[in-house]
Amino acid sequence: MFVSYNKVQRAVLETTLHLIIEKELQATSMSLIAKKSGVSTGSIYHYFDSKEAIINELYRGIVKFNGEQVLDGFFTDEPIRIRLERAWEKLIRVSLEYPQGFQFIEQYSFSPYIRAEIKQMSYDAGWCGPLDKLYQEAIDAKVFKDHLDPHVMVQMHYGSLVYVVKGALNGQLEINDELIRQLIQSCWDSVALNKEAT
Amino acid sequence: MFVSYNKVQRAVLETTLHLIIEKELQATSMSLIAKKSGVSTGSIYHYFDSKEAIINELYRGIVKFNGEQVLDGFFTDEPIRIRLERAWEKLIRVSLEYPQGFQFIEQYSFSPYIRAEIKQMSYDAGWCGPLDKLYQEAIDAKVFKDHLDPHVMVQMHYGSLVYVVKGALNGQLEINDELIRQLIQSCWDSVALNKEAT
Amino acid sequence: MFVSYNKVQRAVLETTLHLIIEKELQATSMSLIAKKSGVSTGSIYHYFDSKEAIINELYRGIVKFNGEQVLDGFFTDEPIRIRLERAWEKLIRVSLEYPQGFQFIEQYSFSPYIRAEIKQMSYDAGWCGPLDKLYQEAIDAKVFKDHLDPHVMVQMHYGSLVYVVKGALNGQLEINDELIRQLIQSCWDSVALNKEAT
Amino acid sequence: MFVSYNKVQRAVLETTLHLIIEKELQATSMSLIAKKSGVSTGSIYHYFDSKEAIINELYRGIVKFNGEQVLDGFFTDEPIRIRLERAWEKLIRVSLEYPQGFQFIEQYSFSPYIRAEIKQMSYDAGWCGPLDKLYQEAIDAKVFKDHLDPHVMVQMHYGSLVYVVKGALNGQLEINDELIRQLIQSCWDSVALNKEAT
DNA sequence: GATGAATGAGCTTTCATTCAT
DNA sequence: GATGAATGAAAGCTCATTCAT
């Protein structure tokens, strides 16, 4: 994560992410970030305009990273089902592997602290558009129902997976390969025209 | 909302909710709450122990209210499908009708600012347990797949609906009665043993 | 001085004046003002919007006070000479009696830290307009030269007196009643049509 | 101005003067001086010990420059009146031509930020001493009153001219050659033993 | 000699909380 | 019970100065 940043920026972003998840935004003071990251406040302000800028950059960086993970191997000419499964599986795996990034996006995607412009930029560069298109292909190929807008389907499936991941991070349930397979199957079934054998 | 509180408490809780959604927790100062609610800071501290207590009470109050709405008419001996549809529909409607409460819970359910004890209390008193049981009934009745834990199913369905509501509140899509019907149908299809006609 | 302010405001204004004269604006920190005035920083901000507001209020308050002193007993129908002498004498005396106020105005009347609006307001409410009028009367009565604009004369005379006061405050010279008489005589002579006996 | 300094020093002093007049001392940071002067902070500290040193050097440089201008052509054996008129006229002209230097001296001659030693050095090297002497000559020659100390007279006259220049820089009045002539005439009249024809 | 990233003390200001009225 | 002035610790941020390159 944050590979495209320099050493100081990376230290600040990583520290900030840890602190925000651990202690809440308002308890994450600049001096605490400075102390924990080993970067002086002065230097932090050399690389970031403000605390708000750090948080927004954090948001942008995580969405970008997650998007790259999810879309890794997406643009092939394999069958729809393969591509869809791969994307959702990668989403689950990156969420579990980088739970703090996942939590941060979940908590702050609605927050007014993240500027609309950053949200839009992140959305545009994310996996949402490509997946919308794939779902449209599935509808056109009469693989998926045509009653629902493809974007609604994507939101639904994203939501299902996100909430199962949340349950796992909360300790309510455990995720293994078999469950991942079944979750994606359920997503497929929820919008498939003909129920296929698992 | 907040009907079980007195006038001062209600004013404080409602004002705080508006401000947090509009301006972020850290920008919602006690003096701003005092000014906007028309209650002096002294009085606020007479009814609440601290700022943290207000936010936690807000969380508890909203989860309680939402739970009551979702479970209104739930405990009948009507067929599983009817009861399940009713609950999810009510969830969607209360989320759309009280979007600030919805957003608040979404943003703060993961936040360390909400005490674990409040989260647990809210969870126990919410709609989650009853719905888990209903899904178990559906599995036992061989209406739903038995590969998945009922709680996983509930999380999945809750997630799908939540994310469609989020899309609607973001202006990405619009929700009408027909869409609500189809969303719940999709949920059903995702876990049903035999796909039924819509 | 600062009689129209409450106790806290007066303590802050007086302390700030002392500190600015003694240590320079940039070395006069809010925490120092707080410590020396015995008012907490929080309270200071209850009564003043910002540090800049304190300095501007200080400016306004001093100009107002000085103006009142100079114009005390000015609006009579005594002869021009009497009224003019009285005003300039009072100017000298208030400058010597409140040297910090005098120095502050001298240093900050040109400073961009004092808002143009405050400068204008202070100017309008000060002694300048009334003295301009008196000088015009003297010109009309053929007591003063008509080659010079009355406002130019007032500026000249104000400048002479100010710089003698500055010299006195610097320890370069000493001011006594006789000197005051002679200074004002010199002012008179500088613009009088017919030189009178001293 | 600042001809006796090297290129870097001159850039720094000129930039600092502009910034202090435009924005106040406390808003004139070293990094701003560096940016606007095109000299890196490192280099600035190579040529000046500290920020305070820059400001003090600025003071010294301006007073020196102004002194040289005022005393240009002063040490002749022309009549007192000619020499006095020439000096005061040059003072007015240099003040109007280099208004920022003029304002800076006006604002900071009283400031504790300028070290006493620099003030003294500047005073000693300035036009004040020579003019004091000229006024003493005038008194000895029974051209000027002997009631007043020559230094008091110089202060008075300096003050009159300074305040008319201030009025001009403030936009309150306009200075032309005729006015300059009349101002100096008024100065002369204020202390002359026998009023002469203009 | 020149650079500008790095430092951290110290700045102005805010804010949760208290308490005399 | 209600008020809001008072508190002072702590926040975000700046800036004179240093020093490795």
Q: How far apart are CA D191 and CA D129, in angstroms?
A: 18
Q: Which residues in chain B are contacts of A147 at CB distance < 8 A?
A: 182, 198
DSSP assignments along D115-171, one per residue = -HHHHHHHHHHSSHHHHHHHHHHHHHTTSB-SSS-HHHHHHHHHHHHHHHHHHHHTT
Q: What is the pLDDT of residues C49-105, one digit of tens each?
A: 999 999 999 999 999 999 999 999 999 999 999 999 999 999 999 999 999 999 999
- A22 in contact with B, Cβ within 8 Å: yes
Chain B residues with CB-CB distance to A17 below 8 A: none
Residues A115-148 have pLDDT tens digits of 999 999 988 888 999 999 999 999 999 999 998 9
Chains interfacing with D (3 or more CB pairs < 8 Å): C
Does residue A106 lie in a domain region? yes
The answer to whether residue A49 scores a pLDDT higher than 80 is yes
Q: Are residues C68 and C145 in the same domain?
A: yes
pLDDT at B197 over 90: no
Residue C170 CB contacts under 8 Å (≥ 6 apart), including other chains: none
- Whether residues A106 and A20 share a domain: the answer is no
Residue D197, domain member (yes or no): no
pLDDT (0 to 100) of residue C125: 85
pLDDT of A57 strictly over 90: yes
A15 within a domain of the structure (yes/no): yes
Pair A139, A165: CB distance under 8 Å: no
Nearest beta carbon to residue B110 from set A23, A106, A173: A106
Q: Which of B4, A30, D148, D24 has its CA nearest to residue C25?
A: D24
Q: Is the pLDDT of residue B77 over 50?
A: yes
Domain CATH code at residue C11: 1.10.10.60
Q: Which of A13, A28, A48 is the last residue of a domain?
A: A48
Average pLDDT, chain A: 93
Judged on CB neighbours under 10 Å (0-12, 13-18, 19+), C63 is: buried
Q: Is A191 exposed, middle or buried (0-12, 13-18, 19+ CB in 10 A)?
A: buried
- The CA distance from A102 to C22, in Å, is 56
Beta bridge partners of C192: C144
Mean pLDDT, residues B32-38 taken together: 95
Q: Which stretches within chain B are classed as H helix? A: 7-23, 30-37, 41-47, 51-71, 80-97, 99-108, 116-125, 128-140, 150-169, 177-191
Same domain for B2 and B83, yes or no, is no
Residue C186 within a domain: yes
Distance of alpha carbon D109 from alpha carbon D101, whole angstroms: 12
Q: Which amino acid is at C149?
A: D
Judged by DSSP in three states, B99 sits in helix
Cα angle: A7, vertex A13, A17; to 5 degrees: 145
State whether D129 and D181 are in the same domain. yes
- Both A170 and A104 in a single domain? yes
Token pair 């600092």: residue = D16
Residue A141 CB neighbour total at 10 angstroms: 11
Judgement on whether residues B121 and B68 belong to the same structural domain of the protein: yes
My answer on whether B129 and B156 are in the same domain is: yes
Q: How far is B11 from chain A (nearest CA, A)?
A: 23
| Domain-located, residue B160 | yes
> pLDDT for B113-143, tens place per residue?
999 999 999 988 889 999 999 999 999 999 9
- 3-class SS of residue B188: helix
CB D26 within 8 A of CB D109: no
Q: Is residue C196 part of a domain?
A: no
pLDDT at site A195 = 52
Per the domain annotation, does A198 fall within a domain? no
Tell me whether chains A and D touch (3+ CB pairs under 8 A).
no
Q: Distance, angstroms, CA B116 to C1' E21?
A: 39
**Cβ–Cβ under 8 Å, residues D12 and D37:** yes
CATH number of the domain within which D110 lies: 1.10.357.10
> Can you give the distance from the CA of residue A42 to the C1' of nucleotide E6 in angstroms?
7
Q: Does B10 touch chain A (CB under 8 A)?
A: no
Mean pLDDT of all residues in D152-165: 96
Q: Are residues C37 and C80 in the same domain?
A: no
Answer yes or no: are the C-beta atoms of C196 and C101 closer than 8 Å: no
Confirm if B160 and B183 have CB atoms less than 8 A apart: yes
CA B56 to chain centre: 15
Query: Does A15 have pLDDT greater than 80?
Result: yes
Q: Does D112 touch chain C (CB under 8 A)?
A: yes
- DSSP letter at D173 equals -
Q: Total domain count for chain B? A: 2
Residue D140 belongs to domain spanning: 60-191
Quick one: average pLDDT of B150-175?
95
Mean pLDDT of chain B: 93
Q: Does C52 touch chain D (CB under 8 A)?
A: no
Q: CA A52, C1' E7: Å apart? A: 22
Residue pLDDT, tens place only, D69-79: 999 999 999 99
* Protein residue minimizing CA–C1' distance to F5: C43
Separation CA C45–CA B9 (nearest Å): 29
Residue D14, pLDDT above cutoff 60: yes
Give me the mean pLDDT over the C139-149 stretch: 93
Sequence-separated contacts (24+) of B141-149 with Cβ below 8 Å: B141/B80, B142/B193, B143/B80, B143/B81, B143/B192, B143/B193, B144/B191, B144/B192, B144/B193, B145/A186, B145/B191, B145/B192, B145/B193, B147/A182, B148/A179, B148/A182, B148/A186, B148/B191, B149/A173
In this structure, what DSSP letter does residue B29 have? Answer: -
pLDDT-derived band at D2, boundaries 50, 70, 90:
confident
pLDDT tens across A76-95, in order? 999 999 999 999 999 999 99
Closest nucleotide (C1' vs CA) to D51 is F16
| Helices C177-191/C150-169 angle, 10° precision | 150
CA–CA dist D157, C183 (Å, integer): 11
Extract the tokens encoding B27: 């920008």
Residue D21 and residue D116 in one domain: no
- Per residue in A148-191, pLDDT (tens digit) is 999 999 999 999 999 999 999 988 899 999 999 999 999 999 99
Q: Please give the distance of CA D39 from its chain centroid, rounded to a whole number.
A: 28
Across the interface, do C112 and D173 touch by the CB < 8 Å criterion? no
pLDDT tops 80 at residue C150:
yes
Which single residue is written with the structure tokens 């298109």? A133
Say yes or no: A43 contacts chain B, CB-CB below 8 A.
Answer: no
- Average pLDDT (B160-165) is 97
Nearest to D190 by CA among C163, C133, C131, C167: C163
Q: Is residue C121 in a domain?
A: yes
Query: Phi and psi dihedrals of D181, rounded to 5?
Result: -60, -45
Pair C44, C92 in one domain: no
The answer to whether D26 and D113 have CB atoms below 8 angstroms apart is: no
Specify whether the CB–CB gap between A102 and A95 falls below 8 A. Answer: yes
The pLDDT of residue B126: 87
Q: How many CB pairs under 8 A join A and B?
A: 130
DSSP single-letter state for residue D193 = S
Percent of chain C surpassing pLDDT 90: 88
Q: What is the pLDDT of residue D63?
A: 95
The half-sphere exposure of B64 on its side-chain side, counting CA atoms within 13 A, is 13
How far is C129 from B70, CA to CA, in rounded Å? Answer: 75
CB D121 within 8 A of CB D61: no
Do residues D24 and C107 touch, judged by C-beta distance below 8 A? no
Decide: residue D136, CB within 10 A, 0-12 exposed, 13-18 middle, 19+ buried: middle
For chain C, say whether D147 makes contact (Cβ under 8 Å): yes
Q: Are residues C98 and C182 in the same domain?
A: yes
Indicate the pLDDT class of residue D198, thresholds 50, 70 and 90.
very low
Residue of chain D whose Cα is closest to the Cα of C194: D195
CB neighbour list of residue A162: distance below 8 Å, 6 or more residues apart = A95, A106, B159, B163
What's the Å distance between residue C24 CA and nucleotide E4 C1'?
30
Interchain CB contact of C136 with D (< 8 Å): no
Q: What is the pLDDT of residue C179?
A: 95
Mean per-residue pLDDT, C15-44? 95
Angstrom distance (rounded) from CA B83 to CA B93: 15
**Closest partner residue to C190 among D111, D152, D186, by Cβ?**
D186
pLDDT of residue B198: 39
Nucleotide nearest to B34 (CA to C1'): F4
Q: Which of A19, A13, A18, A101 has the alpha carbon at shortest distance from A57?
A: A13
Tell me the pLDDT of chain D averaged across its residues.
93
Contact criterion met (CB below 8 Å) for D36 and D15: yes
Q: What does chain A come to in residues?
A: 198
Q: How distant is C1' of E8 from CA of D198, in Å?
A: 66
Q: Helix (H) and strand (E) counts for chain C?
A: 10, 0
Q: Are residues B35 and B79 in the same domain?
A: no
